[in-house]
Structure formats: C-alpha cells, structure tokens
Chain A
Amino acid sequence: MIPPADAELLQDFLTGTLADTDVRLVEFRLKNEPLLAEALVLLAREEALLTEWARSMAAVDSADAARYDAISDKTSPQRLPRVKVWVRAFVAAASLLALLGAGLSLLPTRAPAVALYAWLEEVQGEVFVGTLTARSHHPLQLGDEVRTSGELSFAVLRYPDGTRLTLGSDSVLRLEQAEQGVQGKRLFLSEGYVHADVAHQPAEQPMILATRQAQVRVVGTRFSSSAGDQGTRIELEEGRIQVSSAGKSLDVQKVGSVVDVAEPVRPMEKPEEIQPRFLSWQPLPPPLTTPRLTLPRGEGPIQGLKFAPLNALLAVGGWKGTVQVWDADAGVLLRSWDTQLKRTRCLDWSNDGSLIATGGDDKTAKIWDAHTGQLLWTLPEAPRGPGKPPRFNRDIDAVAFSPDSSVLAVAAEIRRSEPPVAGDITLWNPRTGAMTGRLAGHKDSILCVAFTPDGKQLVSGSRDGTLRVWDLETQTEVAALACGEPVLTLACSPDGKTLATGGRERSIRLWDVPTRQLRIALQGHPREVRSLAFTPDGKRLASSGRDPSIRVWDVESGKPVAHYQGHSFAVTSVAFSPDGRTLATAGWDKLVKLWDVRE
C-alpha cells in the first residue's frame, strides 16, 4: 500500500513534473527509505503494464475507437494498429526463436497479434530512426523519421503489402499520418533521394510522397524522387503517377518521364506559408582543436556565457548556481558570487556594463551589480512582511537586457508534462525592480528572447515552433513566423538586418528582418542547436548544440568557415568578445574555452 501523498509525489517524479529541488529531495529519500524505493519500482512497473496493455488494445479496440470517434468527433483521424513496444526491445531474441523453429509458441498467449506498420529491411552505413542508430529489421511506426548519413549509406523500407522504398545517402524520410479522412501511406522526403517500388494500392487509399515542393500520388508503380535545395525531381519508371504542386496537378504516364518542380517563391508573413528557400550540407573546414585558453574546470555544467559590452570580461553561469567574472585575456578570475540557485539557466550583461541578470530554477530572476556581485533585485520582488514570496510559475529560461539597459525581458518555462499554458514574457525596469509590461501570445514555453539593436522590438522563440516579434512601445505582437520546430536559441545581428534561430531539428535559420522572410536554412549540426552568436561586425555566426563541435558560418553565403573541436559533451553557450577576436565556448564538460578567431 503506497500512502496517497507518496503515490502522487512518485507519480510526478516519474513523469518529470517535479521541480529540480524536489527531484533531489525524492532521490535523497529513495536512498534512505527502502519502502519508498519499492513503491517507485511498483509504479514504474504499472506504467510499463499500462503502456503495453494500451498498445495491444489500441489495435484490438480500433473498431470500438472508431465508433467512439464517430460519436464524439467525426473529423478525428483514422487510427492505425501500432507496433507493440516490446517488439523493438525483443526483436533480436524473437528472431532467434523463429530461427530455431520454435515459432511463436513460447510467446505469451494473451498477446494479440499486431502487424508491423513497416520496417527497415536492410541498412548500410549510418542510418538513424529518430535519434537511434538503426539496424536491419528495425520496426517503424507512424511518425518515425529515417535518416541516412554518409556517402555509402542507404536504407530499404518495407511495408507488409510489399511496397519497398530505397532511401539513398544523406536523405531524410518521415512516415506521416495520412490526411484526415484518407487512408494509406504518406511519406515526407525533406531531402535526399528515394526509389519507390509501390505495390498496388486501393484507388481511394493512394500512397502520397511529399517533398517541400511537390506531392506525388501513387496507386501502384515504380518511380524515384530526389528532393533538396531548391527543387524536386521525379522520374517515372513504370505505371502512372500524379504530381501536384502549388495548386496545379499533372498526370504522368509516359515511362521515363522526368518532372522537375522548382521551389515556389511565396510570401513569408503567415506561419503556414513559410518554406525554407535554401538548405545546405556543406563540407566543414579542418577542425581547430587548440584553444588559446581553457579556464579551470567548474563545479558543474555551464549554461550561460556573456561578455561585458566594452571589455574582455566574461560572465559565466552554471548548474552550481555560482556566477563568475573572468578576465578573458589573462584567464584570471576576478570575482564570483553565489546566486542561491541550484542551477543558473541563463544570464545576460547589460550594455552599460553595470548589471548582470540571471534566471534559474528557483522561479525568480535576479539582477546583480556586475562590479560587486551585490544582489539588487529579485524578480518578482518579495513583499515586506510574512507570507510566501511571489515567484514565476516556471523556471526561467531566458533573460535579456534592452540595448539601452532600461528594460529587462524575462521568459519562463512551462514544465513539459504540465498542461500547456500560453508562454509569457514580462518586462521589468532593472533600476527599480518594477514590472513594466507583459507580452503574451506564445502557445508554449518561451526558450529564448533578444532585443533588436534599435531597442524597439523584442523577438522571442518558443517550444510552440514559432518566432514572434513584439513592438515594445505598444507591447503588441507584430509578426509570427513558423519555424516548424521548437526554437531553442536566437540571435540578432548587430545591424539588425538578420535574425538567426536554432532548433530541435538541427538546422540554423537566417531570417531577413525587414521582409521577415527566411533567407537561408543551414544544416550541419548532427543534433539540436542550442546557442548562436554573431561576430560584432555581423559577418560571421557561431553555433553550438548537443554535439561537442562549434561551427562558424559566413552569414552572407551560408558556408561554414571555421570548425572548433575541444569539448567532450554538449556545448551550451557561445559568445564573441566585443573586439571579435575571441570566441568563448562552454558546456556540459564544465569547461570554458577561449579560442582565437582567425580570418
């Protein structure tokens, strides 16, 4: 019997909805209370059993679900059988059984037979399903993204009906849910090459292969398609396909026909209309591996890095809650202070050099005197007298000073498993600690904010996949741009003409600020992009992310011009010194490295 209070606590612990401090408390208790540890394992088993049961029932109950859907929502998408979760985990062992001739007689008899949606029949080279390295026989589900990496890589996808798709090297293919009311296979080839040998599909359930520029509708035939930079090419080998693009449709029947579809030029204002105009995989220059200086290893991973505006002083924040100020030229620690945070999540230095703001996991933002480390304001300000001090209802993910240092913008996080609440940005007077405004509109937590250099606008990026531009005088939203992925980081060029964003899908996007059009989408980081910084002249952009490499790009051409390697884990922060000669980088390996920037 688990006491109800503990059951709730452990449930929240398992689903990741506890604050970090509470997580540490539960872990402490787990080490000291054997019964609590048993209760946690019991609840974890329950989660496993519920998942297994639900996935097996999803197929068995599909008829009931369809009936329920018909009553409650006639527009809900059709539910398809899903792969049981243990299939993936036990594919090696189960295939052994089959090889031994033991058949499936040893499988639990109550397990319903659920057909695989699709699987990888053969792979060569580096092939990934999502972030997992894939081997032959890897089962695939709706929503899976298959990615091949490297010149000699390929993957063969098979469907139970015999349809076979061969994905060429450096290609990305996603298995998508068919449109509402339409059954059948739907695939999205975002880049690369695919050869399709499609078994006959019912006329009302055609297979759809979509690219950024076109859609191919197939009933049963052989064809190939390559997609990428600025267009899509489709070559018909046999049978008949229908190609549609930008509202026009073309019936292709002649064997050997080649159809080229160029990237349409569209207005970029509305989120759903945004399409990247250019994607590139560029060869990297040889890596530079020797930094000018590596600062002594810190106590914890580092998550905030910012140069003072006029000199080579560097502020560093991290998981242990200490802020340090270093002389980046000499490598000397000038001062440090304890923020009373378990973890500093973000940090900014005001342009007049006098203030440093931090945000962390205690649901407050703090403003410090940069010269003395004295705490000036805790936001929201605690009331005088007894009572619980007010706090943001989330941890703070981003803080930014306006160029004239008169406004501090604070963004906060909504914890992932909580019901989503619209993300807010609050504006504060850093001299008085008074709140001066609130910008609301994002549908999920805000992960990054930046002021435009003229100080008239604020740009915010969110987990909701949008980038929003706010007018500070009227405190209203003036534009919303869709990025199609959570926006984890952004940076504004010093001339205010270019905005760079980085996100979960590994790409870096450069937006033209006056027209609000996407100019270039750069690809190269193998994992998500976490930090971006422009050089003071705005010609170069440094990027880092979940992989240990740091890249520097030419903003005009989109080509990588430098490549640094020296960290062991994710690089969470990059920053250029005001003279542009030093690039500071820091990350989970607890190290700050200072690199000489070369032309």
Chain B
Amino acid sequence: MKKSALRQGMVARLLMQHRTTLYGYIFSCVRNHADTEDILQTVCVVVTESIEQLTNEAGFLPWVREIARRRILAYRRTGRREQPLDPDVVRELADAAERLEEKLPASDQATALTACLEALPPRSRQLIIMRYDGGTSAEDLSRRFGRSVQGIYAQIKRIKAALRTCVERRLQTEGAS
C-alpha cells in the first residue's frame, strides 16, 4: 500500500476518534446542529486534502481544531448566520476545548454517558431517543407521552440533569479506583 494511502487511512481513523471533541467545539460556537454538521463536513474535506502538512499524529487534534476555528469564522463571514459570532469567543472556546480534552477526554465522557443512558428507566430513555433523533416534534412528544409541551421540556431538563450527576459520579468513581 502506498505511503499516502496509509496516511489517508490514518486521517479517517483520527477524524472518527476525535469526532465528539470537534463536534462539541463547533457546536459550542455556532449552537446549531445543522450548521455544526456543515462546518464539520468542510473541516473533514480540508483535513483530508491537506493531511500531508501534518508532521506527527500527536499534533492532529490541535491542528484540526485550528482548521475548525477558521472554518467557523469563515462560515460567519458567509452571512448565513443572523447573529455574527464573536471571534474572541470562538478562540476562547478553542482554548477551553483543548484544556477540557486534557482534563476529561471526550471518549471518557462518552463511555460514562452511554452507561448512564443505558441505566435510564424505559420511559425516560424513549423520551431522550425521540427528542434527540431529530424526527419528533415537541407536539408529537407531548401527544405520545400524554404531557403538556412545557411538561415535556421540563422532563427532558430533569433527565439531563440526572444524567449529568450520574456521569460525574461515574467519572469520580473511576478516577478513584
């Protein structure tokens, strides 16, 4: 297999590995899932095309994060957003994402969150699936679960707060063991 082909394979693996980290950073800046997916897609294309510039695998995440930061600002310049993004906030969040990755890698958060989601009562679990898989409106959820729309929102908030507590406990337990 050619050396360049091997590098492309490595890119795909690394992008997959750091997907949550990148998605989280971009989403924290643009606060919209569709925009985040658009930006992430362009980042993937740029990374795939310019992987030869990367000198070592350890530098992958900072390199991709910088590409993402520029794509976020470029996205703002296209005028697709009604509210302009503050470049200082975008940079501050990039720094925060880097610090957070050192303190708590996204893979650890994913493992803990998945375990907590699996432990949810069936009704709560179903509500989260339907709320986050993107295909069910709040009105539909309200109808299916027999609660007011406001009640559904409040319940989702409560479930997420419980999940957060569960994740923190798991991480503390694992950190202590």
Contact = CB atoms under 8 A, between A and B. Distances in A.
B144 A69 contact: yes
B117 A48 contact: no
Given A48-B24, A106-B9, A37 B129 contact: no
Interface in B96-124: 96-97, 99-100, 103-104, 106, 109-110, 113-114, 117, 122
A113 to B, nearest CB: 15
B113 A30 contact: no
Nearest to A94: B12
Interface residues of B, number: 76
Contact of B113 (A13, A49, A106, A570): A49
29 contacts: A7-B161, A11-B157, A31-B89, A31-B92, A34-B95, A37-B96, A41-B25, A41-B28, A41-B96, A42-B24, A44-B27, A45-B24, A48-B20, A50-B160, A51-B132, A53-B114, A54-B133, A57-B133, A58-B129, A64-B126, A65-B129, A89-B37, A93-B11, A93-B48, A96-B11, A100-B1, A100-B9, A419-B150, A419-B153
Contacts of B89: 27, 30-31
Contacts of A72: 144-146
Interface in B1-17: 1, 5, 8-9, 11-13, 15-16
B5 A100 contact: yes
A110 B40 CA distance: 22
A285 interface: no
Interface in B46-74: 48
Contacts of B1: 100
A14 B27 contact: yes
A8 B144 CA distance: 26
B153 A14 contact: no
Given A31-B88, A65-B126, A97 B31 contact: no
A568 B9 CA distance: 41
A40 B144 CA distance: 31
Contacts, number: 197
Among all A-B residue pairs, the 8 with the closest Cβ atoms: A45-B24, A54-B132, A37-B96, A44-B28, A93-B12, A58-B133, A48-B23, A419-B149
B175 interface: no
A38 B144 contact: no
A31 B98 CA distance: 15
B28 A40 contact: yes
Interface residues of A, number: 71
Interface of B: 1, 5, 8-9, 11-13, 15-16, 19-21, 23-25, 27-28, 31-33, 36-38, 40-41, 44-45, 48, 79, 83, 86, 88-89, 92-93, 95-97, 99-100, 103-104, 106, 109-110, 113-114, 117, 122, 125-126, 128-135, 138-140, 143-146, 148-150, 153, 157, 160-161, 163-164, 168
A139 to B, nearest CB: 11
A419 B95 contact: no
Contacts of A76: 140, 144
Given A11-B157, A54-B132, A96-B12, A49 B31 contact: no
A16 interface: yes
A334 interface: no
A96 B134 contact: no
A15 B132 CA distance: 13
B116 to A, nearest CB: 10
Contacts of B110: 49
A73 B136 CA distance: 14
B11 A55 contact: no
Contact of B16 (A11, A93, A568): A93
A451 B139 CA distance: 32
B100 A38 contact: yes
B13 A106 contact: yes
Contacts of B113: 46, 49-50, 53
Interface in A1-47: 1-2, 4, 7-8, 11, 13-16, 20, 23, 27, 30-31, 34, 37-38, 40-47
A539 interface: no
Nearest to B97: A41
A92 B44 contact: yes
B164 A38 contact: no
B97 A89 contact: no
A85 interface: yes
A273 to B, nearest CB: 23
> Which of A16, A45, A106 gathers the greatest number of chain B CB atoms within 10 Å?
A45
Contacts of A47: 24, 27, 33
Contact of B134 (A34, A55, A92): A55
A198 to B, nearest CB: 25
Contacts of B146: 72
A265 interface: no
